[in-house]
Structure 1
Amino acid sequence: MDFRIRENRQVQGPKALVREREEYFRLMDQGFNNTEACRIVGINRRTGKRWRHGRRPTGKTPGAPPIRRPLSAAGSSRYLREADRIHIADRLREKASIRQIASELGRSPSTISREIRRNGALWRGKDWVYRPHAAQSRADARRPRPKPGKIGQNPELRDFIQHHLERRWSPEQICQALRARFPDRPEMHVTHETVYQALYVQSRGELRRELTKALRTGRTMRRPHRQSYRRQPRMSKDMVMISDRPAEATDRAIPGHWEGDLIIGKAHKSAIGTLVERSSRFVALVHLPNGRQPAQVRDALIQTVSTLPAQLRRSLTWDQGSEMALHKQFSTATDMPVFFCDPGSPWQRGSNENTNGLLRQYFPKGTDLARYTREELDAVTSELNSRPRKTLDWETPAERLAKLLATAS
């Protein structure tokens, strides 16, 4: 190894540690971790981390951007280098095609086309020219990380997102609303992943961390998807299975077919019934202040369903929970047949499962659900039915249900 730790440890001026930086990045490319690379080069490990990630301003100490890593002139790279850009400029002057240039450089034609489009410029306002050294400078300026976020740079955008997060809108609903509200202002358009990054990646500091509590999951950290909990069958008497449900319920063409379930409260001692209309995703909540025994669920369902117009009482699909043991009596009282899902198949009631997740924003797990009044449940359903839904082309459930009923009449 030609590199040696310098003996003079005094301050070296504005170009201090140039050779140390080159050697540090070379060691990192070879697979050394930060601590070992810093030991070999003779620097503090925090210095190495600052070189790679930059430094945030603290108090009177100014921040610093990451150090640009030196690129070797030889060897393959996923990025175009200055020599590649000079070759592109020379071949463009010779009227070579994009595909010819891409073949000579061993690149995709889309890579060359995108390079010319992004790093070219208008000459005197009319001719599009590609200058390799200017293109290299533009590419180098875009490469350093981290970059300032779009949300943090636009107070109007940040306030809009925070306001709707406080109203329990999902990031995807917010992004769609931005496009609808500001169709001609691209600076107000973001993707839902940008919102999640602004919430969870706190080094960016674009949205308040406490707003994660307004998300459906309420998590302060992102987690991978897990397998759904598979419930065991607990009832097998007089069940009519979902395979016998009429086709009009399956294709969601006609309103009036519902999916139902319970969300369970603290210590499994309280519950709220949830009903979702399949065509419009309209939500109705069933008040169960005294428990979830079969007779109590039957009476509460009869009371809730009886308030619906006749054209909205066609069928109900439920899982095989024991709370529906008296489903025959419910069907007799309401003239509404009940169909049961297969064991361990929550996707057969997908709309209801999704809605139960939405409702956990209002009724968190571990909460005593018996304390909620009928008026509080009505307020939740009103808010939920007035939120735009992606699956409805961003209409609200209330709007879609009104359209379906108007068409049917």
Structure 2
Amino acid sequence: MIYKKEYKEKNKGKAHCSKVPAEKSIDFRAQEANDRSEYGHWEGDLVVGKDGKGAALLTFTERKTREEIIFKIPGKKAEYVAKSIDKLERRYKSEFKNEFKTITFDNGGEFRDYKALEKSYDKRKKEARVKVYYAHPYRSGERGSNENANRLTRRFIPKGTVITDISEEYIQQIEDWINNLLRPMFGFKSSLQMAKLE
């Protein structure tokens, strides 16, 4: 009886894990994304608050220019991630597909519903608005630009901060600071300056 109970509980926990299809692996991402030769390929992740609960920051980093976009979302749920991409699609309108060709996430549960992330909020549009890919488990270096940007964000929002209490204005200031930071890799131009050249 003991072994039966343990077996059932173990399987119950696994039942909620959706498996990412092989073709969504970073291994299948376009070479232009891998070598940073083309603008429009992004990395994404969450910066979580105290105890990993409550509001979080959803961060996007463009691979070629290191341009940063930060959203405050109510919590670690897939629907909030999808709604943030909806906002980006509305913001960029017809230019969205040029600005966002791919997004690479880790394997967190909030990113697993790739169909919802790729699907346009405009129900008239049938094709994917963006291609979503996933890094290999425990390979944060495959999203190194986003990891570095998140470390910059942590200068202003240290671990243990209750993100619910952080204002949208302050988050915008952090985004602006990152985007205007002069970077040696770009000949001391900022990510914003580099993005404007695209």
TM-score bracket relative to the smaller structure? 0.7 to 0.9
Q: State the secondary structure of the residue aligned to 1:307.
A: helix
Per the alignment, residue 250 of structure 1 pairs with 34
Match of 1:382 in 2: 176
Q: Is residue 2:84 matched to residue 1:300?
A: yes
Query: How big is each residue's C-alpha offset from its partner over 1:220-246, in whole Å with a ceiling of 9 and x where there is no partner?
Result: xxxxxxxxxxxxxx6523460001001
Partner of residue 48 from structure 2, selected from 238, 254, 264 = 264
C-alpha distance in structure 2 between counterparts of 1:359 and 1:305, whole Å: 24
Secondary structure (helix, strand or coil) at the match of 1:287 reads strand
Superposed CA RMSD: 1.6
For the 8 Å contact 1:346–1:353, the answer to whether it is kept is yes
Q: Which has the higher relative contact order, 1 or 2, with Cα contacts under 8 A spaced 6 or more apart?
A: 2
Partner of 2:6: none
Residue identity opposite 1:325 in structure 2:
R
1:90-119 CA distances to partner (integer Å, 9 max, x unpaired)?
A: xxxxxxxxxxxxxxxxxxxxxxxxxxxxxx
Give the TM-score taking structure 2 as reference length: 0.80
TM-score, length-scaled by structure 1: 0.40
The alignment-based identity, stated in percent, is 27
Amino acid at match of 1:344: Y
What runs of 5+ residues in structure 1 fail to find an aligned partner?
1-233, 405-409
Aligned: 1:372 with 2:160: no
* Pairwise CA distance, 1:393: 2.2
Give a deviation string over 1:152-196, Cα, whole Å, max 9, x none: xxxxxxxxxxxxxxxxxxxxxxxxxxxxxxxxxxxxxxxxxxxxx
* 1:236 and 2:30 matched: no
Q: How many residues align?
A: 170
CA distance in 2, matches of 1:257, 1:388: 21
* Cα distance between partner residues in 2 of 1:304 and 1:374: 16
Q: Is the 8 A contact 1:298 1:327 kept in 2?
A: no
Distance 2:104 2:43 in 1: 5
Tell me the secondary structure at the aligned position of residue 185 of structure 2: helix
Q: 1:235 to 1:357 in 2, by over 3 A?
A: farther
* Shift in alpha-carbon separation, 1:235–1:373, aligned structure 2, 3 A: farther
Contact 1:263 1:356 in 2 (8 A): yes
Per the alignment, residue 359 of structure 1 pairs with 153
Supply the distance in 2 between the matched residues of 1:321 and 1:370 (Cα, whole angstroms).
21
> Which one-letter code corresponds to 1:351 in the other structure?
S
Query: Partner of 2:115 in structure 1?
Result: 328
Q: Secondary structure at the match of 2:147?
A: helix
User: Is contact 1:388–1:395 with CA below 8 Å preserved after alignment?
Assistant: yes
Post-superposition Cα deviations, 1:236-272, rounded to whole Å, max 9, x if no partner, equal 2346000100111111111110000001110111310
Q: 1:303-318 counterparts in 2 under 5 A?
A: 303-308=87-92, 309-310=95-96, 311-318=98-105
Question: What 5-or-longer segments of structure 2 have no aligned partner?
Answer: 1-16, 121-127
> Could you say if the C-alpha distance between residues 304 and 371 of structure 1 is closer, same or farther in structure 2, counting changes exceeding 3 Å?
farther
